[in-house]
């Protein structure tokens, strides 16, 4: 039986590999080719060979390649045609042609969907990646049928014809003389004889692989069975003699042995295997990244960083990590996400300048300020002068004093804006420097309508950032930023300008969406050189390397193994159906990398955060990684008891934090304010939202209704919830109008008209046009779906009134108050009249049992009668009845029609369109009548009398502070 060599995973893999190579080939290594999962081990091997005094020098080094580097060589040798490896953009463009042909063939779901170049790109990219995965696994995809309703319509249509798309894609690549890395791998794997013939020229070692793709497995198996390659694992040595006792993460190696019918043999050349049974592990529980970093800093103090790795599973944390590390010889090996760089911020500002502009030369002031404040722009130094910083500050002041939109090129600095000693030459050079920035970052993007144009405009920005006069350049001070800029200029921009679809015309929103997706995928590779010193790396970069001292940061479950991003084309559950590895496989690979790294270490510190994460819209609680849980569990079993945080190996990090005293804001009600209030109560009608505003926070009410302060006019990137609410109300109003007065089963109505009208109104709205393309798509699709669900849940009813305005006067003390409300809908149902209000936001439901709490309502009546304002009672009312709106609508209806409504409810349009009613079935007719005709006017009188009697407006902070526009003037903030 043929063998696979196993190196104990507690030993140094690369040092042991060196011994194996010398034993097998002596120092004649020139024909040796070592294949690795990644490039880094080869550098270490070269270092080991160089430092080995027993290896004579000079020496021909063995060749070392990653598998991804070797396959294109093989492909070229087997098929000498000069094939072009095409970019993702080209592949997406080609897939558009294929999908459009299928659309025009009139078959399947695709024929019913619009296939427009403009909107296909995001799907094209995902589809190209999926097909590439099939190539890499050497699989031919099958169609996935009947997925309508399970995935998005376009995804269902593409998956339904996946086999045909794949077939056409392959044909088209062949016809054009194009290839992809996956297709190369597939080609090589399917030509075993040529593969063996080529491989026989070398002594091949397949070193340190774990989980293989389908094509890797086929290639390696062919070579190994033909005795053309030797395979070396770095794994738990138990797989040799006691596979049942082997660490669970080595499962993939056992499967591999079984698949090939191979026998594992443990080498006795292992270099420095660990003698202790396990590493010394410390768990450090912080509450955020910075608390972990402070502990790291402490643990690193006094060490020289030799033979030490700081592993950062989330590469976006690189910058804070670098700031906390002691000033040592540091080497970074990882792919840093371009999307976390300052350069990305600048590109994003440039795109947003166009997205928020009102046409050429009409730029939104806030984005212009963002541009002027960008550090790259501030450090620009026109030849022979000083950095632009000072003139940019003056320009910013002028912008803040001006209008909402402006043409930045029209700004002319005043005499006082210049330094006293500035001469004309200085002024001209500085102004020209500023104009050069504005032309490159604003004007050059105004007429861009193709990817090539976008690439050229970005190149213009790079030209401005890189001065001709290298002496004045500051980039050498910022190596990471410089590397990002280099990557943008040398990799990203050429891909944009040199693809087959580069000159096709697209709308700006699609172009920006493509660019953003593109940048989000880019990683700027950092390769540490030399190999000495403290190594900072990602978990992938640590593969096959060994360090005695290991620090793993931010070991939370969302980073280790990491969560899987949602794929709208092929959601996770469908991957298995197509025979592709799913998250369980990825988790196993991640676990193996983690445990292998630990196996070779003497001491390990694992840092993680435990508590609120708060990152992103859905930010939730961070939990330590499942791998950490497993290690702790092992430790607990050994110790025979549970380990509490702060005891044994689990250290908790805490900082003494003094609470910030919460002071209420109090605004004294002067005579002027009281007069203004009385004036308002006399002259204007009072809406439920005015009363609710006072109920929530009297200070907010004061700013909103008694001062001329208006909320700051800002572009809301996530859309405009108020405007969206208006659209939904209008659309529902018009849709239901024809059914007014008739008993109708609304659930049976076709939602198409409702949905189409919603889409039409939405796409016409200004806020929608300012949203990014993908958010617009999401909003439109989710809105349509919610309207469909809403209609389905409506049931049978008679709509009596729609958008009914009611004005009624009611006496409060000496005042005759005009109340006003607009009832979205009034239905006649089996139980009586029901008043409905559509809600696209949250629903402030009254506390259970409020309507039967007679004592409370008696207190409210007393509160109205008494001389002074009762603040506690106001807070209590706000807690029990957070909104007066629905009770007030019911009361107004009663005043206008003399009929007491049976119920009133909010219809939530955020999810299913279900109703939340003011009264439950348990509330009798008497209770409802008391609530509407007695308690509601009591609450109204109490709130208004409190407003009039209170000597101060006192803030009552709550969750609504988060979106209160007056927080800036309030001590709560």
Task: Point out which residues bind ligand SF4 (CB under 6 A).
Answer: 697, 699-700, 955, 957, 960-961, 964, 966-967, 970, 972-973
| Closest CB 694 distance from ligand SF4, rounded Å | 11
d(CA 458, CA 444): 9
* Whole-angstrom Cα Rg for the chain: 35
| Closest CB 625 distance from ligand SF4, rounded Å | 38
Of the pair 260, 960, the CB lying nearest ligand SF4 is at 960
d(CA 714, CA 712): 6
- For the CA atoms of 97, 99, 103, 109, what is the dihedral angle to 10 degrees? -170
Helices (H), 34-144: 40-51, 67-78, 88-104, 117-136
DSSP per-residue letters across 617-629: TT--EE-B-HHHH
Name 154's Cβ contacts closer than 8 Å, sequence gap at least 6.
113, 123
- For the CA atoms of 739, 745, 746, 750, what is the dihedral angle to 10 degrees? -100
Of the pair 234, 972, the CB lying nearest ligand SF4 is at 972
SS3 34: strand
| Closest CB 619 distance from ligand SF4, rounded Å | 21
| Closest CB 148 distance from ligand SF4, rounded Å | 45
Of the pair 683, 710, the CB lying nearest ligand SF4 is at 710
| Closest CB 665 distance from ligand SF4, rounded Å | 6
| Closest CB 886 distance from ligand SF4, rounded Å | 22
Contact predicate 466/475, CB 8 Å:
yes
Of the pair 305, 844, the CB lying nearest ligand SF4 is at 844
d(CA 514, CA 122): 7
| Closest CB 881 distance from ligand SF4, rounded Å | 18
Of the pair 369, 961, the CB lying nearest ligand SF4 is at 961
Buried b (16+ CB within 10 A) or exposed e, 312-341: bbbbebbebbeebbeeeebbbbbebbbbbb
Of the pair 245, 710, the CB lying nearest ligand SF4 is at 710
SS3 271: strand
| Closest CB 165 distance from ligand SF4, rounded Å | 54
Of the pair 482, 961, the CB lying nearest ligand SF4 is at 961
The continuous run of DSSP H or E covering 65 comes out as: strand 63-66
| Closest CB 960 distance from ligand SF4, rounded Å | 5
**Cα separations (Å) of 912 from 339, 472, 735, 753, 824?**
36, 61, 18, 18, 18
Helices (H), 534-625: 572-575, 583-599
Of the pair 664, 717, the CB lying nearest ligand SF4 is at 664
Of the pair 291, 955, the CB lying nearest ligand SF4 is at 955
Of the pair 754, 964, the CB lying nearest ligand SF4 is at 964
d(CA 944, CA 937): 10
Name 131's Cβ contacts closer than 8 Å, sequence gap at least 6.
91, 95, 141, 165, 166, 169, 182
d(CA 939, CA 864): 9
| Closest CB 551 distance from ligand SF4, rounded Å | 41
Of the pair 19, 972, the CB lying nearest ligand SF4 is at 972
| Closest CB 943 distance from ligand SF4, rounded Å | 16
d(CA 457, CA 276): 60
**Cα separations (Å) of 923 from 515, 736, 832, 850?**
58, 30, 14, 11
> What is the token pair recorded at 716?
């809301």
Name 278's Cβ contacts closer than 8 Å, sequence gap at least 6.
none
| Closest CB 956 distance from ligand SF4, rounded Å | 6
Contact predicate 111/144, CB 8 Å:
no
| Closest CB 699 distance from ligand SF4, rounded Å | 4
d(CA 676, CA 656): 47
| Closest CB 692 distance from ligand SF4, rounded Å | 12
Of the pair 212, 869, the CB lying nearest ligand SF4 is at 869
Q: Which long-range contacts does 928-934 make (Cβ < 8 Å, 24+ apart)?
A: 928/851, 928/900, 928/901, 928/902, 928/903, 929/900, 930/851, 931/851, 931/887, 931/890, 932/887, 932/890, 932/891, 932/894, 932/900, 932/901, 933/891, 933/894, 933/900, 934/857
Residue 134: other Cβ atoms inside 10 A: 22
| Closest CB 844 distance from ligand SF4, rounded Å | 14
Of the pair 709, 752, the CB lying nearest ligand SF4 is at 709
Of the pair 667, 931, the CB lying nearest ligand SF4 is at 667
- The vertex-102 CA angle with 97 and 103, nearest 5°, equals 95
Of the pair 658, 959, the CB lying nearest ligand SF4 is at 959
| Closest CB 707 distance from ligand SF4, rounded Å | 12
| Closest CB 713 distance from ligand SF4, rounded Å | 18
Where in 572-691 does DSSP place strands (E)? 603-609, 611-612, 621-622, 650-652, 666-668
Helices (H), 113-250: 117-136, 153-160, 162-176, 181-189, 192-199, 214-225, 238-241
Of the pair 850, 970, the CB lying nearest ligand SF4 is at 970
Of the pair 210, 953, the CB lying nearest ligand SF4 is at 953
| Closest CB 693 distance from ligand SF4, rounded Å | 9
d(CA 770, CA 776): 9
> What is the token pair recorded at 840?
């696209």
- Can you say whether residue 523 is alpha, beta or left, with left for phi > 0 and alpha for psi between -120 and 50 degrees? beta
Contact predicate 628/555, CB 8 Å:
yes
SS3 260: helix
């Amino acid at each position: 039986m043929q063998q696979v060599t196993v190196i104990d995973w507690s030993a140094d893999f690369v040092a042991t590999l060196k011994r194996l190579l010398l034993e097998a080939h002596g120092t004649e290594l020139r024909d040796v080719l070592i294949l690795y999962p990644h490039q880094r081990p080869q550098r270490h091997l070269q270092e080991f060979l160089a430092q080995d005094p027993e290896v004579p020098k000079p020496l021909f080094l063995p060749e070392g390649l990653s598998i991804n580097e070797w396959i294109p060589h093989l492909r070229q040798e087997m098929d000498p045609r000069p094939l072009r490896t095409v970019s993702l953009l080209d592949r997406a463009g080609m897939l558009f042609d294929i999908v459009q042909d299928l659309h025009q063939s009139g078959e399947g779901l695709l024929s019913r969907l619009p296939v427009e170049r403009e909107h296909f790109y995001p799907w094209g990219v995902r589809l190209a990646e999926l097909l590439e995965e099939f190539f890499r696994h050497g699989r031919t995809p099958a169609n996935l049928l009947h997925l309508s309703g399970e995935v998005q319509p376009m995804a269902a249509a593409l998956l339904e014809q996946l086999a045909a798309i794949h077939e056409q894609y392959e044909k088209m690549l062949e016809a054009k003389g194009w290839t992809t890395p996956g297709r190369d791998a597939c080609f090589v794997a399917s030509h075993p004889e040529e593969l063996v013939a080529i491989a026989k020229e070398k002594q091949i070692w397949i070193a340190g692989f774990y989980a293989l793709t389908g094509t890797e497995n086929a290639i390696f198996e062919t070579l190994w069975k033909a005795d053309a390659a030797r395979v070396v694992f770095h794994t738990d040595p138990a797989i040799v003699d006691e596979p049942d006792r082997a660490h669970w993460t080595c499962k993939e190696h056992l499967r591999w042995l079984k698949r090939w019918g191979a026998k594992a043999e443990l080498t006795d050349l292992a270099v420095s295997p660990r003698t202790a049974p396990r590493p010394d592990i410390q768990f450090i529980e912080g509450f955020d990244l910075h608390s972990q970093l402070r502990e790291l800093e402490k643990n690193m103090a006094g060490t020289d960083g030799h033979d030490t790795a700081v592993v950062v599973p989330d590469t976006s944390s690189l910058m804070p990590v670098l700031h906390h590390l002691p000033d040592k010889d540091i080497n970074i090996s990882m792919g840093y996400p371009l999307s976390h760089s300052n350069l990305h911020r600048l590109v994003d500002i440039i795109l947003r300048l166009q997205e928020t502009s009102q046409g050429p030369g009409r730029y939104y002031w806030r984005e212009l300020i963002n541009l002027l404040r960008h550090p790259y722009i501030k450090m620009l130094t026109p030849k022979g002068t000083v950095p632009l910083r000072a003139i940019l500050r003056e320009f910013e002041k002028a912008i803040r004093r001006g209008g909402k939109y402006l043409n930045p090129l029209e700004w002319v600095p005043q005499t006082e804006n210049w330094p006293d000693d500035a001469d004309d030459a200085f002024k001209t050079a500085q102004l020209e420097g500023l104009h050069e920035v504005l032309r490159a970052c604003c004007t050059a993007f105004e007429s861009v309508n193709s990817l090539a144009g976008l690439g050229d405009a970005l190149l213009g920005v790079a030209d401005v950032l890189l001065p001709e006069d290298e002496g004045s350049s500051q980039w050498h001070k910022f190596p990471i930023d410089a590397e990002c800029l280099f990557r943008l200029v040398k990799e990203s921009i050429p891909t944009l300008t040199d693809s087959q679809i580069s000159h096709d015309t697209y709308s700006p929103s699609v172009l920006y969406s493509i660019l953003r997706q593109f940048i989000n995928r880019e990683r700027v590779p950092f390769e540490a050189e030399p190999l000495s010193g403290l190594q900072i790396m990602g978990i992938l970069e640590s593969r096959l390397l060994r360090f005695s001292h290991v620090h793993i940061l931010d070991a939370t479950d969302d980073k280790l193994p990491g969560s899987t991003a949602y794929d709208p084309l092929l959601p996770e559950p469908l991957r298995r159906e197509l025979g592709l590895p799913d998250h369980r496989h990825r988790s196993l690979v991640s676990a193996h990398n983690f445990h292998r790294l630990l196996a070779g270490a003497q001491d390990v510190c694992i840092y993680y955060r435990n508590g609120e994460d708060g990152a992103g819209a859905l930010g939730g609680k961070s939990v330590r990684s499942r791998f950490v849980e497993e290690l702790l569990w092992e430790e607990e079993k050994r110790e025979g008891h549970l380990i509490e945080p702060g005891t044994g190996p689990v250290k908790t990090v805490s900082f003494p934090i003094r609470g910030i005293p919460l002071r209420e804001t109090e605004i004294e009600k002067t005579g002027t304010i009281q007069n203004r209030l009385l004036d308002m109560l006399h002259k204007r009608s009072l809406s439920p939202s005015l009363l609710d505003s006072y109920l929530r926070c009297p200070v907010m009410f004061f700013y909103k209704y008694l001062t001329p302060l208006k909320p700051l006019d800002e572009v809301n990137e996530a859309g405009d919830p108020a405007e969206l609410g208006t659209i939904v109300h209008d659309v529902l109003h018009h849709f239901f109008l024809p059914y007014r007065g008739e008993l109708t089963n609304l659930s049976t109505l076709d939602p198409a008209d409702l949905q189409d009208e919603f889409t039409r109104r939405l796409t016409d709205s200004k806020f929608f046009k300012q949203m990014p393309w993908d958010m617009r798509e999401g909003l439109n699709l989710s809105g349509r779906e919610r309207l469909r669900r809403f209609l389905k849940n409506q049931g049978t009813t008679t709509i009596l009134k729609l958008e009914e305005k009611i004005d009624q006067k009611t006496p409060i003390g000496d005042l005759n108050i005009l109340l006003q409300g607009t009832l979205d809908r009034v239905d006649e149902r089996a139980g009586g009249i029901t008043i409905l209000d559509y809600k696209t936001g949250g629903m402030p439901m009254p506390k259970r049992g409020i309507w039967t709490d007679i004592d409370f309502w008696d207190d409210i009546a007393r509160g109205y009668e008494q001389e002074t304002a009762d603040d506690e009672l106001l807070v209590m009312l706000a807690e029990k009845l957070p909104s007066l709106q629905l009770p007030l609508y019911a009361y107004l209806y009663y005043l206008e029609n003399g009929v007491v409504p049976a119920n009133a409810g909010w219809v939530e349009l955020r999810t299913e369109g279900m109703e939340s009613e003011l009264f439950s079935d348990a509330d009798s007719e008497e209770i409802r009548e008391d609530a509407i005709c007695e308690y509601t006017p009591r609450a109204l009188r109490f709130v208004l009398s409190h407003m009039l009697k209170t000597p101060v407006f006192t803030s009552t902070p709550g969750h609504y502070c988060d979106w209160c526009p007056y927080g800036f003037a309030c001590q709560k903030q």
